[in-house]
């Protein structure tokens, strides 16, 4: 991939072709220097503290374990991977995927208007409003989740309101269901959508929208043809930042979910802890990673083609 | 556009209510006269003074804050540079770098936690410490910062910087006075995400913590065994209160107006 | 005699560990040391290969000889068979345990008595803590750890923990007869029981009027959506085993298939699999739960009419233990800590605060009456013999894990 990109400028995930690279010799040198200064520290860090440890655990995933749970690396092979693709685990993978997709869609559907509202109508309170979005997340996750349990449980706040207003007569079972899992996850990942959406929408030049309104005459047309395409980098970033952590989340489905909401990441966790089978757990973890990464890269490629064709 | 304003505002208010609903419940239950957060048994202020007698909890809070401070600062710097580099430059290996950036995000937490645990032990004989937790947190925060910064920087018009250069600014000057203000909101957003991630992390922390490094999330999960007490609500309430007061003061002092001017720069050239 | 032999073996290990802690060993020696202990031991070859160049360079270390005498000297009283004057403990002690799973004043009293600074580190949950303790094969720098009894045999076999220095634990004689010679650790040479419990059924007496006596109640369709099972592989399978009159420690695939089929049948009726039985009962999310006796004691305030029964088909009894990891930097203080917690008054204070029964016969007279007279926490001692202890299954645990994961998925 890298070799094809060095000569011709091509669109990056973000948006327009990078004119600067092809413009002059000076810029080309600057780009190379810039790459060293800007990119190298982060890449080095991630190589040392992420890639190397990951390589170790990949080797572990090829090993086996003995009766006591010791990792044995005598006969490396793909046996754990073969075993991990058992059909019994499919429902858990399906749960992970379903929760992550719905959470992502909801987060963007809710997050976009909020980010737009903060950016356009926030005035000089913009940053304050943005920080307010984050404020709830500077409390403990578990306590926030407990608070949701208090709201959602059978005799909880929400059922109290519903029954008090006569909307329902029987308490609705909300906690430990798909509803509570999706609500909890959407709640948890909403800021991950709002922040990148905001930075992207806020960058948008209001004059462009004004010009478009003059041309399309309808607010909706201007939004669909100008605002939305121009803020697509933000939408993509928001989708990445919600979908990816959501698919690996097992704490929310565990706490707010019930007997029927087990996710793939939970199975990985069980293998590592109660199951004492690190090689198998690593293999299943890698499969989860590959599925997520593959899906993400495919989606990114598709989105880019759609946007920049 | 003004017509949609009202609906949008109503929607925004509803969403803020959604975001703060559990926080309100959490605060109310910090005054709960029961050992457990779950069942309301009358009003008390007892949990607040008891908080300050609980050296363990305060220690856990201090360690959590120290780790978060290190993680936020380091990951914001590394991540912002990386995001900026990916957005602005095409270089050999940028595709690979992009994938590298996605990888920590797609890695299940427990895999990341255990891989770092093995890594530190095998190479350094280390079995967990506050420093090790900090390194782990920096590692998983970088990607989030980079993706956020990149989203803003990628659409930024590079001619702005060129223009500054043409007008006689040095490379550093152009970076400092043009690029930095333009990406600052994204850097800030990334830092806020990093703080939330670090502050709440349980799984990676659990495997890389060592003697004496009980963080707040570990403390809280450990207390599930006998029921989480409203002390945890109380400490969360105090954190929210302190942050809110700090925000209010900063806002009154005009701290956020600075942002406005830097955002204005961006709009100006295109106008 | 045996003890003496073991003792000197530990001293060597300790010297090595001390040297590791001091990090004065070369990479090669480190890898060799790793290869002798620990679950990640087998990883050493990769690293050895990676570090091949480094190991070629001669970097002799004198760490072992130089540290061995001092450590040996400090630990030498351990080799003596009978109680001797208490040796001076190290200045610090690293304890790894649940939050609040100890008397309120125990730590402070120990610190005052022995002039030792105790670092009480909490673990997020038992499984993660165990993984952490096993991560370096010798306890991750902790001096005292609290594993569940079922995990003790594997910790011994893997040398993750060291034999106790019984000369420093005279209070071991306080243990009740039931606890002198437990199946998981005959003679308590590697571990000391800390607290024990039974696993049974609890229910909200306001919602369920019947007197339940059978595990069958957890399959009763009348409570659909209001039933909790503990999110614990072995405990959940044990319930199925009791219903089917099978051995809860079975290794037979055929038995396990029958057990998992029964659990499959139950799954649609369940609200959740979760270890937070207290939370589910006190929030009234469920009316009946598979629960630990000590937890039921915690529910009294919020579920005033809670009932608990050890079902007639049989039940699990378990205990948490105190052990000293093989890499403990402060072994003397660690053994003194264990002894201190077996003191009659300290043990009673622990029980009085957390509501779990200790195994301490001498402590009985200091335990609160309401705990002693509560059959939930303190069942008839005769009943105890009928209960089953879960045993370590070694590699056969996989058979459970696999079915459990498939069940939950």
Of C112, C134, C184, which Cα lies nearest the Cα of C359? C184
B119 vs A305 pLDDT, higher one: B119
The reported pLDDT for the residue numbered C72 is 35
Closest CA to C176 of C41, C375, C362, C6: C362
Chains that touch B (3 or more CB pairs under 8 A): A, C
Nearest CB to C39 within list A70, A260, A267: A70
The DSSP secondary-structure symbol of C343 reads S
Check pLDDT > 80 for residue C152.
yes
- What is residue A108's predicted lDDT score, i.e. its pLDDT? 96
Question: Taking chain C, what is the end-to-end CA distance rounded to the nearest angstrom?
Answer: 52
DSSP codes joined into one string, C12-43: HHHHHHHHHHHT-S-HHHHHHHHHHSSTTGGG
What is the per-residue pLDDT for B257? 57
Please tell me the predicted confidence (pLDDT) of residue A73: 87
| Alpha-carbon gap, residue A215 to A205, rounded angstroms | 16
Q: Do C201 and C215 contact (CB within 8 A), yes or no?
A: yes
User: A75 — alpha (psi -120 to 50), left (phi > 0) or beta?
Assistant: beta
Query: B116 and A49: CB-CB below 8 Å?
Result: yes
Give the dihedral of Cα atoms B94, B99, B102, B104; nearest 10 deg: -110
Contact B71, B135 (CB under 8 A): no
Q: How far is C17 from chain B (nearest CA, A)?
A: 11
First-to-last alpha carbon distance for chain B, in angstroms, is 20
**pLDDT band with cut points at 50, 70 and 90 for residue A125:** confident
- Whether C39 and A68 lie within 8 Å, measured CB to CB: yes
pLDDT tens for A239-294 read: 988 998 899 888 889 889 999 899 999 999 889 888 888 899 999 999 999 988 88
Asked if A77 has any chain B CB less than 8 Å from its own CB, the reply is: no
Show the DSSP H helices in chain B as ranges: 2-28, 47-53, 55-88, 94-106, 109-124, 130-153, 158-166, 171-174, 180-200, 203-208, 216-222, 230-252, 257-270
CB atoms within 10 A of CB A119: 23
pLDDT computed for residue A25 by the predictor = 65
User: What DSSP letter does each residue of C220-259 carry, written as one string?
Assistant: -GGGTT-EEE-S-HHHHHHHHHHHTT--TT---HHHHHHH
A294 close contact with B: CB closer than 8 A: no
**What is the average pLDDT across B91-116?**
89
Contact C155, C161 (CB under 8 A): yes
Tokens standing for residue C48: 């050895």
In this complex, is the C-beta atom of A302 within 8 Å of any C-beta atom belonging to chain B? no
Å between A91 CA and nearest CA of chain B = 18
- pLDDT, position B36: 79
Considering only residues 129 to 188 of chain B, which have any Cβ-Cβ distance to chain A shorter than 8 Å? 135-136, 138-139, 142, 144, 146-148, 150-156, 158-159, 162, 171, 185-186, 188
Instruction: Quickly state the pLDDT bin for B176 (edges 50, 70, 90).
Output: confident
Average of pLDDT values for A153-180?
Answer: 89
Question: Is C135's CB within 8 Å of B39's CB?
Answer: no
pLDDT at C6 over 60: no
At residue B87, the 3 state secondary structure works out as helix
Q: Which of C138, C174, C170 is nearest to C156 (CA)?
A: C138
Phi, psi of B156 (to 5 degrees): -70, 140
Residue with tokens 């058992």: A86
Specify the residue for token string 């980079």.
B146
DSSP bridge pairs for C289: C202, C228
C349-368: per-residue pLDDT in tens?
A: 999 998 899 999 999 999 99
Tell me which residue in C98, C141, C302 faces B225 most closely, judged by beta carbons.
C98
Q: Residues, chain A, total?
A: 309
Instruction: Give percent above pLDDT 70 in chain C.
Output: 79
Nearest to B23 by CA among B227, B244, B201: B244
Tell me how crowded residue A80 is: count the other CB atoms within 10 A of its CB: 23
Asked if residue A244 lies in contact with residue B197, where contact means CB atoms within 8 angstroms, the answer is no
Residue range B81-105: mean pLDDT, rounded: 87
Output the six-digit token pair for A192.
Answer: 């991950």
Q: Which residues does chain B have within 8 Å of residue A240's beta carbon, measured at their own beta carbons?
A: 102, 105, 147
Q: How would DSSP label each residue in C81-150? A: SS--SPPPPPSEEEEEE-TT-S-TTHHHHHHHHHT-EEEEEE-S-HHHHHHHHHHTSS-TT-SEE--BGG
- Distance (Å, whole) CA B218 – CA B224: 10
The H or E element that residue C196 is part of is strand C192-204
- Write down the ipTM of this complex: 0.87
């Amino acid at each position: 991939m890298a070799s094809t990109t060095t000569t011709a400028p091509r669109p990056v995930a973000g948006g327009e072709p990078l004119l600067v690279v092809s413009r002059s010799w000076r810029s080309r040198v600057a780009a190379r220097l810039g790459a060293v200064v800007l990119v190298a520290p982060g890449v080095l860090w991630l190589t040392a503290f992420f890639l190397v440890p990951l390589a170790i655990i990949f080797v572990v995933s090829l090993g086996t374990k003995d009766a006591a749970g010791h990792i044995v690396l005598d006969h490396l092979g793909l046996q754990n991977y073969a075993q991990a693709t058992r059909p019994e685990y499919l429902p858990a993978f399906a749960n992970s995927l379903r929760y992550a997709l719905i959470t992502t869609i909801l987060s963007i559907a809710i997050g976009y208007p909020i980010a737009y509202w903060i950016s356009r109508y926030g005035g000089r309170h913009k940053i304050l409003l943005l920080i307010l979005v984050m404020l709830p997340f500077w409390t403990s996750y578990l306590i926030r989740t407990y608070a949701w349990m208090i709201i959602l449980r059978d005799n909880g706040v929400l059922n109290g309101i519903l029954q008090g207003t006569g909307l329902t007569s029987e308490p609705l079972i909300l906690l430990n269901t798909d509803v509570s899992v999706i609500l909890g996850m959407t709640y948890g990942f909403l800021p991950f959508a709002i922040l990148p959406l905001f930075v992207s929408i806020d960058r948008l030049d209001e004059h462009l929208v004004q010009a478009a309104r003059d041309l399309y005459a309808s607010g909706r047309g201007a939004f669909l043809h100008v605002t939305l395409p121009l803020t697509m980098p933000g939408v993509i970033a928001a989708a990445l930042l919600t979908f990816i952590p959501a698919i690996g989340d097992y704490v929310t489905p565990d706490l707010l979910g019930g007997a029927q909401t087990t996710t793939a990441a939970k199975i990985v966790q069980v293998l590592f802890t109660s199951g004492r089978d690190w090689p198998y757990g690593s293999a299943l973890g890698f499969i989860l990673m590959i599925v997520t990464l593959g899906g993400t890269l495919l989606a990114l490629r598709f989105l880019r083609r759609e946007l920049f064709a | 556009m003004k017509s949609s304003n009202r609906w949008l505002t109503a929607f925004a208010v509803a969403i803020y209510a959604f975001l703060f609903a559990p926080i309100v419940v959490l605060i109310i239950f910090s005054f709960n006269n029961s050992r457990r957060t779950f069942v309301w048994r009358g009003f008390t202020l007892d949990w607040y003074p008891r908080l300050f007698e609980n050296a363990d909890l305060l220690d856990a809070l201090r360690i959590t804050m120290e780790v978060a401070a290190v993680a936020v600062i380091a990951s914001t710097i590394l991540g912002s540079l990386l995001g900026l580099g990916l957005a602005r430059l095409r270089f050999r290996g940028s595709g690979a770098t992009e994938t590298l950036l996605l990888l920590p995000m797609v890695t299940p937490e427990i895999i990341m936690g255990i891989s770092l645990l093995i890594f530190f032990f095998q190479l350094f004989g280390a079995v967990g410490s506050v420093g090790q937790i900090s390194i782990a947190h920096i590692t998983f925060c970088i990607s989030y910062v980079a993706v956020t910064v990149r989203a803003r920087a990628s659409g930024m018009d590079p001619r702005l910087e060129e223009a500054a250069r043409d007008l006689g600014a040095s490379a550093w000057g152009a970076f400092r006075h043009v690029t930095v203000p333009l990406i600052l909101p994204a850097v800030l957003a990334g830092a806020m995400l990093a703080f939330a991630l670090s502050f709440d992390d349980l799984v990676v922390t659990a495997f890389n913590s060592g003697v004496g490094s009980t963080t707040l999330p570990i403390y809280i999960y450990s207390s599930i065994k006998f029921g989480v007490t409203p002390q945890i609500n109380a400490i969360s309430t105090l954190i929210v209160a302190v942050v809110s007061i700090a925000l209010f003061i900063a806002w009154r002092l005009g701290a956020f107006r600075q942002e406005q001017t830097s955002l204005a720069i961006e709009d100006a050239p295109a106008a | 005699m045996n003890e003496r032999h073991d003792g000197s073996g530990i001293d060597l290990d300790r010297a090595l560990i001390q040297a590791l802690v001091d990090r004065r060993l070369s990479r090669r020696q480190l890898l060799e040391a790793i290869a002798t202990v620990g679950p990640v031991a087998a990883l050493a070859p990769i690293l050895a290969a990676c570090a091949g160049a480094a190991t070629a360079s001669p970097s002799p270390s004198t760490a072992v000889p130089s540290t061995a005498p001092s450590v040996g000297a400090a630990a030498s009283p351990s080799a003596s068979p009978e109680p001797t004057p208490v040796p001076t403990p190290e200045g610090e002690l690293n304890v790894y345990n649940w939050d609040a799973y100890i008397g309120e004043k125990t730590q402070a009293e120990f610190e005052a008595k022995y002039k030792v600074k105790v670092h009480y580190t909490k673990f997020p949950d038992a499984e993660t803590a165990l993984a952490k303790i096993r991560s370096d094969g010798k306890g991750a720098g902790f001096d005292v750890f609290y594993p569940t009894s079922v995990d003790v045999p594997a910790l011994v076999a893997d040398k993750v923990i060291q034999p106790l220095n019984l000369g420093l634990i005279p209070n071991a004689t306080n243990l009740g007869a039931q606890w002198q010679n437990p199946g998981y650790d005959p003679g308590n040479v590697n571990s000391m029981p800390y607290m024990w419990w039974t696993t049974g059924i609890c229910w909200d007496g306001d919602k369920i009027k019947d007197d339940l006596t059978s595990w069958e109640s957890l399959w009763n369709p009348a409570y659909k959506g209001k039933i909790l099972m503990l999110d614990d592989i072995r405990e959940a399978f044990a319930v199925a085993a009791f219903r089917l009159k099978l051995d809860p420690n079975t290794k037979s695939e055929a038995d396990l298939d029958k057990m998992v089929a029964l659990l499959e049948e139950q799954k649609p009726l369940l609200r959740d699999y979760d270890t937070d039985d207290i939370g589910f009962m006190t929030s009234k999310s469920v009316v009946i739960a598979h629960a630990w006796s000590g937890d039921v004691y915690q529910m009294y305030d919020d579920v005033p009419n809670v009932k608990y029964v050890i079902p007639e088909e049989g039940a699990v009894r378990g205990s948490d233990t105190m052990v000293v990891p093989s890499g403990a930097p402060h072994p003397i203080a660690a053994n003194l800590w264990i002894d201190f917690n077996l003191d009659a008054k300290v043990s009673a204070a622990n029980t009085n605060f957390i509501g779990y029964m200790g195994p301490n016969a001498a402590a009985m007279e200091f335990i609160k009456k309401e705990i002693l007279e509560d059959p939930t926490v303190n069942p008839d001692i005769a009943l105890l013999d009928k209960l089953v202890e879960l045993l370590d299954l070694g590699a056969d645990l996989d058979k459970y894990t696999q079915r459990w994961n498939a069940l939950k998925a």
